[in-house]
Amino acid sequence: MSMLVLCSFVFGLGLYVVLTRREIIAILAGVELMLGSANVLLIGLGSLSGANGAVIGSIGLVVLVVAAAEAAVGLALVVSLSRRSKRSSIDELLEVKG
């Protein structure tokens, strides 16, 4: 129960950060909180249910790599946006032009 409450609370904190912050870097940090807590929940539930540790580790590694790639692309978008508008607020993305 402690692991489930912990991961759910941290997931909620990440969602709160995503909903309330305006800086894109802070929003990315909130997404990292959500992904990290979901990965811990996956590993913890797999471990508590007695599943094969290697399979759980493989799936956790997939989540970790996808999250790292997401963070890298998101930060590249932040840098590109700051070059265009000299700001890094999410309000700059309200009007997107092709």
Based on the shown chain and the rule CB under 8 A, indicate whether residue 62 belongs to the binding site for another protein: yes
User: Binders of another protein: how many residues, by CB under 8 A?
Assistant: 71
Give me the least distance between CB of 95 and another protein, in Å please: 19
Q: How far is CA 72 from CA 17, 36, 45, 50, in A?
A: 19, 15, 28, 34
Residue list 2-31, contact with another protein (CB under 8 A): 2-17, 19-23, 25-26, 28-30
Q: To the nearest 10°, the Cα dihedral for 46, 48, 52, 54?
A: 60
User: What count of other Cβ atoms lies within 10 Å of the Cβ of residue 98?
Assistant: 2
Based on the shown chain and the rule CB under 8 A, indicate whether residue 53 belongs to the binding site for another protein: yes
**The one among 49, 93, 94, 97 contacting another protein by CB under 8 A:** 49
